[in-house]
């Protein structure tokens, strides 16, 4: 038992190396094979402990960036909660492995686990899904065909088939498992030969402004006025370069999340700065703003700011971060806890947005995401289904500017570009901003802790990739399949006991 726990923990640590900053995605199937082998033919209680060790080995290093940025207690708590999901799957693994085609059943359960923990409890935590780690591999183009969830399924199935080949008692079973692993690999790699492409309906020129954060660079509240002024100055400078012909005229401009960390409708100087920037550049600016929603609540919004008519359509962040942007169960927590440490920086709770239609900006239908929204499936899919031609990400990674979170999120954004078949424009307060092509290639990107502007002409796309539909079907269907598989495994176990009695 101890050996299984140690091997599982080591496999989890190795899985963390599949993602940034190391980015060795080819270890994924091997780590999942180890997970299946360690949880095989044990009691469910033992499977839970083994799975928990795997989850801890993976998730604690994977989101270690939370410790220096948000605080050690938050890192420990969140990593432990996420590790519990791998423990729960470990408890189900011995039951599912009683089934003849157990690699497929366990792969479905793996995807169910990933999708459930991505949305629950509270807003969940989608970091660490297998499909987010393949952007620089031959499997990347499969994202457009089967989505992030489908790629997770293929990688999990490949790993579990390898595990079955190891434990197969008969030679023909081993050959069958290896042959099936070859087929799964071929299915995952085949889209590289025939990448999915969407129809191009036009082109637009977009500027992503990275104004930089005053002070040390890791606190957007350090100097709120200067933070907004930095974005105003960078936009005005762009307008001057457009005027002298050294930069192309953008059709619209994207500012990052928290480019106005104070309500622009309550602070006249910030309002004036945004208006000045919009009028000087002469095109709409998608402004990232914190907007009051009463005494106890706020909204994190992307606001289309027209140079003539001012503030217009808005997108509100769909997935505020629990204990980072709002405090769940605030009313029942001790005041001493709520008013101390990191939680004291959250005096008001952030509300969740519910917009389902893209933002019309300068004649372009734009699917917006704010920071962690890019890692969730729902907001992107519904906006693309409703006609989005281009994706934007407004993000404030200032709190994580000295950590690996920056590169992890950028990799997730690249995966979304491939999955949706669209260009993505990223604007960050102080890194990393850039433009990503539909094949995941980085067209341009900034450096951290700099003031910079990226201006690129990008194609507008129409239609939807199969991956969005397949991914949604797996999100809904894999939990059902998991329940069916577990019940079947329990019945088989009961039948075997009755026959041996």
Same domain, 311 and 340: no
The tens digit of pLDDT for each residue in 44-59 reads 999 999 999 999 999 9
Confidence band, pLDDT 50/70/90 cuts, at residue 498: confident
Q: Do 234 and 271 fall into the same domain? A: yes
φ, ψ of residue 83 in degrees (nearest 5):
-65, -30
Residue 286 falls in which region: left (phi positive, over 0), alpha (psi -120 to 50) or beta: beta
pLDDT at position 466: 98
Query: What pLDDT, on a 0 to 100 scale, did the predictor assign at position 336?
Result: 72
Query: Mean pLDDT over residues 205-230, rounded?
Result: 96
Residue 346's pLDDT band, with cuts at 50, 70 and 90, is: confident
User: Do 45 and 163 belong together in one domain?
Assistant: yes
Q: CA-CA distances (angstroms) from residue 423 to 41, 55, 319, 402? A: 47, 34, 22, 27
Q: Which residues are tagged catalytic?
A: 257, 317, 371
Q: Are residues 62 and 210 in the same domain?
A: no
Q: How confident is the model at residue 339 (pLDDT cuts 50, 70, 90)?
A: confident
Long-range Cβ contact pairs of 375-379 (< 8 A, separation 24 or more): 375/118, 375/126, 375/127, 375/132, 375/409, 375/412, 376/118, 376/119, 376/126, 376/318, 376/319, 377/115, 377/118, 377/148, 377/149, 377/471, 377/472, 377/475, 378/318, 379/318, 379/319
Q: pLDDT per residue over 467-484, tens digit each?
A: 999 999 999 999 999 999
pTM metric for this prediction: 0.95
Least confident of 133-142, 148-157, 292-301, 338-347: 338-347
Question: Does residue 235 have a pLDDT over 90?
Answer: yes
Residue 63's pLDDT band (cuts 50, 70, 90): very high
Is the same domain home to 404 and 436? yes
Of the pLDDT bands very low, low, confident and very high (cuts 50, 70, 90), residue 337 is confident
Domain coverage including residue 402: 199-318+356-461
Given a contact cutoff of 8 angstroms between Cβ atoms, the answer to whether 384 and 419 are in contact is no
**How large is the average pLDDT for residues 179-204?**
96
How many Cα atoms within 13 Å fall on the side-chain side of residue 309? 6
Closest C-alpha to 43, from 106, 91, 109: 91
At 400 the pLDDT is 94
Please indicate, yes or no, whether residues 437 and 346 belong to a single structural domain of this protein.
no
pLDDT, mean over the chain: 95
In tens, the pLDDT along 3-59 reads 999 999 999 999 999 999 999 999 999 999 999 999 999 999 999 999 999 999 999
Phi/psi-derived region of residue 380, left when phi > 0, alpha when psi is between -120 and 50, beta in every other case: alpha
Cβ contact 224:261 at 8 Å: yes
**Each residue of 124-146: pLDDT tens digit?**
999 999 999 999 999 999 999 99
293 and 215 in one domain? Answer: yes
Q: Both 371 and 226 in a single domain? A: yes
Mean per-residue pLDDT for 239-258?
A: 97
453, 475: one domain: no
Pick from 266, 263, 313: nearest CA to 286: 313
pLDDT in tens, 65-103: 999 888 888 899 999 999 999 999 999 999 999 999 999
Confidence of residue 501 (pLDDT cuts 50, 70, 90): low
Same domain? For 299 and 274 the reply is: yes
Name the domain boundary from 430, 445, 461.
Answer: 461
**Nearest in space to 289 (alpha carbons), one of 124, 427, 447, 387:** 427
Report whether 149 contacts 195 (CB < 8 A).
Answer: no
Q: Outline where 63-141 has alpha helix (H).
A: 66-69, 72-96, 102-117
Q: What is the mean predicted confidence (pLDDT) over 325-349?
A: 81
**pLDDT of 123 above 70:** yes
Q: Are residues 225 and 176 in the same domain?
A: no
Instruction: Give the tokens for residue 407.
Output: 């590169």
Which of 404, 342, 478 minimizes the C-alpha distance to 20?
404
- Spatial contact of 147 and 139, defined as CB atoms under 8 Å apart: no
Q: What is the DSSP string of 314-361?
A: EEE-S-PPBTTTB-TTGGGS-HHHHTSGGGGG-SSEEPPP---SPEEE
Give Cα separations from 467 to 95, 263, 418, 420, 470 (angstroms). Answer: 30, 38, 9, 7, 5
Same domain, 47 and 89: yes
How many structural domains is the chain composed of?
A: 3
**What pLDDT digit, counting tens, does each position of 299-329 carry?**
999 999 999 999 999 999 999 988 888 888 8
């Amino acid at each position: 038992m101890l050996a299984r726990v140690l091997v599982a923990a080591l496999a989890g640590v190795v899985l963390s190396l599949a993602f940034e900053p190391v980015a060795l995605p080819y270890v994924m199937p091997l780590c999942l094979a180890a997970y299946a082998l360690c949880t095989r033919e044990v009691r469910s209680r033992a499977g839970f402990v083994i799975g928990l060790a795997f989850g801890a080995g993976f998730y604690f290093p994977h989101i270690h960036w939370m410790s220096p940025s948000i605080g050690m207690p938050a890192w420990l708590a969140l990593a432990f909660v996420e590790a519990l999901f791998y423990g729960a799957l470990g408890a189900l693994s011995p039951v599912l492995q009683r089934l003849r085609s157990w690699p497929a059943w366990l792969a479905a359960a793996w995807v169910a686990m990933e999708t459930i923990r991505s949305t629950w409890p509270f807003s969940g935590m989608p970091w660490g899904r297998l499909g987010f780690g393949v952007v620089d591999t031959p499997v990347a183009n499969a994202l457009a065909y089967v989505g992030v969830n489908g790629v997770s399924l293929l990688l999990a199935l490949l790993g579990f088939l390898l595990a079955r080949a190891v434990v197969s008692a008969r030679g023909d079973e081993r050959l069958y498992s290896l042959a099936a692993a070859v087929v799964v690999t071929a299915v995952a790699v085949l889209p590289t030969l025939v990448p999915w492409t969407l129809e191009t309906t036009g082109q637009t020129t977009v500027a992503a402004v990275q104004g930089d954060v005053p002070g040390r660079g890791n606190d957007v509240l350090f100097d709120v006025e200067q933070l907004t002024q930095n974005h105003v100055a960078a936009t005005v400078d762009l307008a001057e370069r457009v005027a002298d012909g050294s930069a192309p005229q953008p059709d619209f401009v994207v500012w990052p999340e928290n480019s106005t960390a104070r309500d622009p409708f309550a602070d006249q100087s910030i309002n004036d700065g945004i208006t000045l920037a919009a009028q000087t550049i002469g095109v709409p600016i998608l402004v990232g703003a914190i907007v009051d929603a009463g005494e106890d609540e706020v909204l994190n919004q992307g606001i289309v700011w027209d140079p003539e008519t001012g503030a217009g359509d808005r997108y509100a962040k769909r997935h505020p971060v629990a204990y980072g942007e709002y405090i769940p169960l605030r009313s029942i927590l001790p005041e001493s806890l709520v008013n101390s440490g990191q939680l004291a920086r959250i005096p008001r709770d952030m509300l969740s947005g519910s917009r389902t239609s893209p933002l019309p900006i300068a004649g372009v239908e734009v699917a917006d995401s704010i920071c962690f929204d890019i890692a969730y499936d729902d907001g992107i899919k519904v906006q693309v289904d409703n006609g989005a031609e281009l994706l934007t990400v407004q993000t404030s990674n200032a709190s994580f500017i000295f950590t690996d979170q920056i590169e992890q999120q950028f990799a997730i954004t690249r995966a979304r570009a491939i999955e949706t078949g669209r260009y993505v424009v990223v604007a960050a307060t102080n890194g990393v901003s850039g433009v990503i092509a539909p094949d995941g290639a980085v067209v341009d990107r900034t450096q951290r802790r700099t003031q910079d502007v990226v201006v690129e002409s990008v194609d507008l796309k129409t239609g939807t990739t199969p991956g969005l539909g397949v991914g949604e079907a797996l999100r809904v269907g894999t939990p059902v399949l998991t329940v069916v598989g577990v019940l079947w495994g329990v019945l088989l176990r009961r039948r075997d006991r009755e026959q041996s009695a």
